[in-house]
Amino acid sequence: MADAELRIICGPTAAGKSALALSLAEREPTTVISADSRQIYRRFDIGTAKPTAAERRRVPHRGIDIADPTERHSAAAWAEAATRWVAEATAAQRTPVVVGGTGFYLRALAMPLFEEPPLDADRRAALARVLDPMTTPELRRWCEELDPARAHLGRTQLLRAIEIAVLTGRPISAWHREHPRRPTVRARWLVVSPRSPAALAHRIEERATSMVRAGWEEEVRELMQTVPEDAPAWNATGYRTVRERVRGILTRDAMLARIIVETRQYAKRQRTWFRHQLPSERVTRIDPGDDRASDMAIHWWREGATQ
């Protein structure tokens, strides 16, 4: 698939990627491949904004509900599966489109930096038991010792950098240099992101409020009965905060306010990544609030069919 054109719709959380992708996907037989590191986990539904059952009936989705909450799922493993899903969709004469905001998933698929080393499962699990209870500032301090170039990144990337450095004895930067990996796809990117941070902040606030109204607390209360506290799935934005609400530590208003702040911080990191990490000559950017957004997206979609 080295020369294949693959449509990728990406951008920060709450920007409207999924709704836009669904509207485009209904124009022809399409399979949506989710590039969301939170939506891979079964039963973590409301707080990860998974597409509804009705939406999945409208357009087939892959990459959702593929892991138990206690599993660690690497970007390399997702990219390998995504390559297979793309091939399966193409063989079935369906258009594959990747949709999501997890940058390190997208990089592993379209811009892989290195051939991931094999890691011992038992050692990974043992290290995870040490790392998961640590706060993000604690992880950052450890990463500054092991792989300083990655110490500014978010929690998930910090965990990965520490894991690679500890279990292989070399930082990710060394693997980048010594074990480069060729991409399996050639991607065309549609970045969906409001130009105004205030507009995105408003979208985030509205979505967080609707998630709480949809029963996020009840979902977490049920999950807490069977999912261990150190399960990786709890790292999804907002879930630890809702857990504190269920335990009576936070009021509902305090919970919602913290979720909004956490989500804005996550979205800010995503915006930075999508602004600086993509090949500019292959990228179309649209503001979902622009009156021309729909026409621009349709043009981008049709343009992909002619290449």
Q: What residues contact residue 284 under an 8 Å CB cut-off, 6+ apart?
A: 188, 189, 190, 191, 296, 300
Query: Encoding tokens for residue 171?
Result: 């930082």
Cα–Cα distance, 33 to 53 (Å, whole number): 15
Please list the helix, strand and coil fractions of the chain in percent, rounded to the nearest 5, in that order.
55, 10, 35
pLDDT of residue 119: 81
Q: Which CATH class is domain 5-112+184-305?
A: alpha beta
pTM across the whole model: 0.81
Domain boundaries, the chain: 5-112+184-305, 114-181
Share of the chain above pLDDT 90, in %: 73
Q: What is the pLDDT of residues 79-120, one digit of tens each?
A: 989 999 999 999 999 999 999 999 989 988 998 766 667 788
Q: Would you say residue 2 has pLDDT above 50?
A: no
Q: Would you say residue 264 has pLDDT above 90?
A: yes
Residue range 45-66: average pLDDT?
A: 96
Q: What is the pLDDT of residues 121-173, one digit of tens each?
A: 889 889 988 998 899 899 999 999 999 988 888 888 889 899 999 999 989 87
The CATH number of the structural domain formed by 114-181 is 1.10.20.140
Q: What is the pLDDT of residues 228-241, one digit of tens each?
A: 999 999 999 999 99
Q: Would you say residue 13 has pLDDT above 70?
A: yes
Q: Give residue for tokens 């992708």.
A: 21
pLDDT of residue 113: 62
Beta bridge partners of 31: 96
Q: What is the pLDDT of residues 276-296, one digit of tens each?
A: 889 889 999 999 999 999 999
Alpha carbon distances (Å) from 61 to 51, 88, 232: 9, 12, 23
Confidence of residue 1 (pLDDT cuts 50, 70, 90): very low
Query: Encoding tokens for residue 2?
Result: 């080295």
pLDDT of residue 178: 65
User: 62-71, 121-130, 239-248: which range is least confident on average?
Assistant: 121-130
